[in-house]
Amino acid sequence: MLFHLLEDSEICSLIAVRRRRRCQNSATFFSHPMSSPKHVGSGKVAGMGKPQVAAVLPAGGSGERMGVSTPKQFCTILGRPLISYTIQAFERVRWIKEIVVVVPAEKIDLMQSIIHKYGHKRVTLAEGGTARHRSILSGLKMLAQSESPVSKLWKPDVVIIHDAVRPFVEEDILLKVTAAANEHGAAGVVRPLISTVIASSEVGCLDYSLERAKHRASEMPQAFQFDAIFQAYLQSSDYDLDYGTECLQLALKYSSMPAKLVDGPPDLWKVTYSRDLYAAESLIKDGLSQYVCLITVMKEDVVQVGFLLHETLKTHGKQVKGISPSMCENVSQLQSLFKDKPCYNFICINTKESSFEDAEKMVDLLGSSSLPILYPVLLFSVHLVGPEGSSLYDKPQELEGIRDLSHKAMKKNIWVYGLVINLTKIEQQLQETVCRGAAIIMALIKDRCGTLAGQLLVA
Amino acid sequence: MLFHLLEDSEICSLIAVRRRRRCQNSATFFSHPMSSPKHVGSGKVAGMGKPQVAAVLPAGGSGERMGVSTPKQFCTILGRPLISYTIQAFERVRWIKEIVVVVPAEKIDLMQSIIHKYGHKRVTLAEGGTARHRSILSGLKMLAQSESPVSKLWKPDVVIIHDAVRPFVEEDILLKVTAAANEHGAAGVVRPLISTVIASSEVGCLDYSLERAKHRASEMPQAFQFDAIFQAYLQSSDYDLDYGTECLQLALKYSSMPAKLVDGPPDLWKVTYSRDLYAAESLIKDGLSQYVCLITVMKEDVVQVGFLLHETLKTHGKQVKGISPSMCENVSQLQSLFKDKPCYNFICINTKESSFEDAEKMVDLLGSSSLPILYPVLLFSVHLVGPEGSSLYDKPQELEGIRDLSHKAMKKNIWVYGLVINLTKIEQQLQETVCRGAAIIMALIKDRCGTLAGQLLVA
């Protein structure tokens, strides 16, 4: 459910079938004339073949409910601010042409540095207002000014509005709300209620409870015909702009557009409390831990351990690809291993002779790519010792070697771990050792905390 | 916010002030005659000094929304089923005399084994119905049958109803709803709405949106005068029992009791989706990582490292107590270090001579106590090497020693880690080494995953 965060390619999906279906939808959406919108805000939309789509992400929240001083959109997961994950989710979608992020004046510099650091494209910053609706209005104004000669932007036909603190938004739901908005004027994602909603009497007692089945929680994303929603915002009263929170309500009230409601997945929830940040972190780490690339040479010991490791990781639900060092010539080759899913976990099984050579090459290769910009990349350098006589620490340079390599790699957001596997001729024992090794690798991949990088662990 | 899960003592609080306030509340509640209830279900409640309180925990959910086959109340966190955490939260509250857990027939054996394994007291099992309300009715019937000569139970004056999948319930909110129910007949916790609630028209478009400020999400716990809620359930229609979910609504409809609404903390949220389980896990681990006990002898090197470690951990927000090995004679002494908060993290700094002796003693002591029953206990065995000449692996037996000790301790739910600190005479260097050591300890405490137990890590 989180794979949209895990890849650089612009169209994503969890499984191939779903992917094909989505692409068909996408094709239909963009190549056929739209059905006539019921509510047309401007003549431009009607009969148009390909709507121009932009997004506005209001990011002015204060994080009060989080109980922390950092607004939640700037809280970090794996060192990267939450808002960067949300921007990334929109960037992947090729047909969203422009992303306007609205932040308070005092956060403009911070936001600019985030855009620069993580290489975000197609993002324009706008200065936010004091309330959510005022921030959205700022974003809409920036898009509307496109006709000014100084603007790099253009006025979209459809605008998507989404919260900066809902990073798990996938292309298919963006497509659904955009298509529905294009047809109906306005559309928004809804979810079933988790708790019963009740109304309180004046004395703080239960007045009535709502029937759960008839009501829905209104979530994001929402989408609107641009001219219609912009007019609605321009006409909104100060009270609505200062105290309202629901865009669909403004569209209904000021532009008479009853939004089409679209059922959305549970991952669209809003990161509101500290626990939500924990949940988001775990989901992101979970996603990053799915794919593993195993690099082995064709030598007997190495192949045997590689095979056992491969099988064990697969048994535990990982998708594993085994390759030879010669296939590690360029990153794009490595990236095509899992079609368009980038892999952030590498295991390099060293021969007794090569020691760190292959691992060092991998650090150079990965470090020169854009891969570690968005997420830390993990590299396990596996060292085989034995089978007889030679003890693990006959070569104390292993420990020093792994520390030095880790130190160098850390600067490039690559975390290197050493793993010692004791070769034994008793197959059962070797299997158990490799199982322990796989468990160590999986634990470190899942926890994805850099503190233990540079350690030499023993399976 | 999670400390109620972190201790065995029965009255808990986050900070001393809050604790005192609560205890005062508790005293008032139980020593003064109750104010006259507005809705009296039976003569027993009126004018009563100390209401008898029981709890019913319906635990029949199927976990459909979780997307997993295990119902969420039986999903494990740190190896222990979620429902055990919720029971633990109720057990700590001395004035709740009986806890009735309602599970489907096919889960009775599993539930019995959970109660046995984690040593839960005051718990009675009831067989649940096909729907939530029918399960609650089963629990109420069990309490109502107390007058039968075979029953060990008694009929309470007030019954608390709570979901098995809301483990973070503290004594103060239980007290508030119980007191409010005793006075008003019924009471329930409410929270502000996170999302706007909307109603859909017949064609799936926005009909209207509710004003967020006038509505609340109804959460748990809820409490009721026993006779009144039991009568309400007995009178409920089959439709209400099969399709209703809101106890407050039944109390209003069948016993004319408009529940008093009590504002609750955010931690009462219901574990519904996989992400909620992640969040709960992180909160529990967070809580377990707050307290650290540091065991040092009075020898120069040891004292110096111990002092630096103590200061570094404190700087990072841990509460640390340093003690001598002689204070580790019995567990109750160790437990009183942080008043009534049990400590689940121990660091033992070995002298060069003693090697593993102190760590081994600690494993025996902790293993013979009840401490590791509810949570894994972490023990760091710190080994000092150097300052000059002697290399880390002059003594390969260290590695074997830590693996053997870890293997033995693991069976008792104690996870042992070795940590090597290189003594150097350059103070700045030693400080940096200890800082790295503290970071390793904190990372392992926070992640609390047993896979790396038995490893010898190098600071």
Q: Which of A182-196, A315-329, B292-306 has the highest mean pLDDT?
A: A182-196
pLDDT of residue A206: 95
Residues 220-249 of A with CB under 8 A from B: 245-246, 248-249
Residues of A in contact with B447 (CB under 8 A): 443, 447, 449
Phi, psi of B119 (to 5 degrees): 65, 35
- pLDDT-derived band of residue A333, with 50, 70 and 90 as boundaries? confident
User: What average pLDDT does range B156-161 have in this prediction?
Assistant: 97
Question: From the list A217, A258, A280, which residue is nearest B197 (CB)?
Answer: A217
Question: From the list B196, B207, B218, which residue is nearest A246 (CB)?
Answer: B196
Which amino acid, A427? E
Question: From the list A215, A217, A282, which residue is nearest B278 (CB)?
Answer: A282
User: What average pLDDT does range A202-218 have in this prediction?
Assistant: 91
Which amino acid, A213? A
* Paired residues of B261 in beta bridges: B188
Q: In B296-350, which ranges are E strands?
A: 319-323, 345-349
A with B: how many residue pairs have Cβ under 8 Å apart?
198
pLDDT of residue A35: 36
Number of H-type helices and E-type strands within chain A: 15, 17
- pLDDT-derived band of residue B64, with 50, 70 and 90 as boundaries? low
CB contact under 8 A, A195 and B218: yes
d(CA A318, CA A301): 23
User: What average pLDDT does range A343-357 have in this prediction?
Assistant: 83
Number of H-type helices and E-type strands within chain B: 15, 17
Higher pLDDT, B31 or A451: A451
Of A198-212, A317-331, B160-174, B403-417, which range is least confident?
A317-331
What digits encode the pLDDT tens for the residues A102-142? 999 999 999 999 999 999 999 999 999 889 999 999 999 99
Phi, psi of B210 (to 5 degrees): -80, 150
Q: pLDDT > 70: what percent of chain A?
A: 83
d(CA A250, CA A102): 19
Largest interatomic CA distance in chain A: 84
CB contact under 8 A, B215 and A195: no
Task: Supply B452's token pair.
Answer: 């790396």
- pLDDT-derived band of residue A153, with 50, 70 and 90 as boundaries? confident
| Nearest to A72, CA basis, from A81, A153, A204 | A81
d(CA A288, CA B433): 31
Residues of A in contact with B439 (CB under 8 A): 451
**How far are the Cα atoms of A209, B307, B320, B381, B417 from residue B326, in angstroms, in the given order?**
61, 18, 18, 17, 22
Residues 268-287 of B with CB under 8 A from A: 269-270, 272-273, 275-276, 278-283
Decide: helix, strand or coil at residue B24: helix
Cβ burial of A301 (10 Å; 0-12, 13-18, 19+) is middle
DSSP state of A256: -
d(CA B373, CA B417): 19
Question: From the list A259, A270, A396, which residue is nearest B206 (CB)?
Answer: A259
pLDDT of residue A354: 64
Domain residue limits, chain A? 2-280, 289-458
**Which of A289, A399, A451, A456 to probe by mutation at the B interface, max B CB count within 10 Å?**
A451
**How far are the Cα atoms of A321, B310, B342 from residue B7, in angstroms, in the given order?**
46, 23, 5
Residues of B in contact with A285 (CB under 8 A): none
Which amino acid, A17? V
d(CA B176, CA B183): 11
| Nearest to B158, CA basis, from B27, B42, B57 | B42
CB contact under 8 A, B452 and A449: no
Q: How high is the ipTM of this complex?
A: 0.85
Decide: helix, strand or coil at residue A99: strand
Of A199-208, B9-18, B274-283, which range is least confident?
B9-18
Residue range B289-458, CATH number = 3.40.50.360
**How far are the Cα atoms of A115, B164, B388 from residue A139, in angstroms, in the given order?**
17, 44, 64
Calculated CA dihedral for residues A368, A372, A378, A381, nearest 10 degrees: 10
Higher pLDDT, A445 or A352: A445
Task: Answer positive or negative: Cα dihedral of A360, A361, A364, A370.
Answer: negative
DSSP assignment string, A157-200 = SEEEE--TT-----HHHHHHHHHHHHHHSEEEEEEE-SSEEEEE
Class of the CATH-defined domain A2-280: alpha beta
Q: In B255-376, which ranges are E strands?
A: 260-263, 291-295, 319-323, 345-349
d(CA B226, CA A425): 69
pLDDT of residue B13: 29
Higher pLDDT, B146 or B82: B82
Q: pLDDT > 70: what percent of chain B?
A: 83
d(CA B179, CA B169): 16
Higher pLDDT, A7 or B118: B118
Task: Supply A1's token pair.
Answer: 């459910």
Task: Supply A261's token pair.
Answer: 């409601």
d(CA A456, CA A422): 13
Residues 131-190 of B with CB under 8 A from A: 184, 186, 188, 190
Which amino acid, B175? L
> What value does the mean pLDDT of chain A take?
85
User: What average pLDDT does range B394-404 have in this prediction?
Assistant: 74
| Nearest to B59, CA basis, from B121, B112, B97 | B112
What digits encode the pLDDT tens for the residues B352-367? 766 778 889 899 999 9
User: What average pLDDT does range B414-423 have in this prediction?
Assistant: 93
d(CA B279, CA B260): 30
User: What average pLDDT does range B440-451 have in this prediction?
Assistant: 96
CB contact under 8 A, B447 and A447: yes
Task: Supply B426's token pair.
Answer: 């350059």
Cβ burial of A213 (10 Å; 0-12, 13-18, 19+) is exposed
**Which of A210, A275, A420 to probe by mutation at the B interface, max B CB count within 10 Å?**
A275
| Nearest to A168, CA basis, from A125, A118, A221 | A221
Contact (Cβ atoms closer than 8 angstroms) between residue B295 and residue B323: yes
CB contact under 8 A, A282 and B283: no
Higher pLDDT, A300 or B230: B230
**How far are the Cα atoms of B206, B289, B320, B395, B417 from residue B316, in angstroms, in the given order?**
49, 11, 11, 32, 20
A388: pLDDT strictly greater than 80: no
Same fold across B2-280 and B289-458: no
Give the contacts of A120 (CB within 8 A, at least 6 positions apart): A84, A87, A88, A91, A114
pLDDT of residue A339: 84
pLDDT of residue A331: 79
Residues of B in contact with A391 (CB under 8 A): 396
B65: pLDDT strictly greater than 90: no
Chain B CA closest to residue A273: B266
Residues 65-124 of B with CB under 8 A from A: 65
Calculated CA dihedral for residues A56, A61, A67, A69, nearest 10 degrees: 110
A307: pLDDT strictly greater than 70: yes
d(CA B187, CA B185): 7
* Paired residues of B418 in beta bridges: B381, B456
pLDDT of residue A63: 56
What digits encode the pLDDT tens for the residues A13-57? 222 333 333 334 454 454 333 333 333 333 333 334 689 999 999
pLDDT of residue B41: 35
How many residues appear in chain A?
A: 459
Q: pLDDT > 90: what percent of chain A?
A: 66
Nearest-CA distance from B404 to chain A in Å? 13
pLDDT of residue A328: 79
pLDDT of residue B353: 66
pLDDT of residue A68: 59
- pLDDT-derived band of residue A275, with 50, 70 and 90 as boundaries? very high
Q: Does B197 touch chain A (CB under 8 A)?
A: yes
User: What average pLDDT does range A433-444 have in this prediction?
Assistant: 97
Which amino acid, B377? V
Tell me which residue has tokens 């200890």: B434
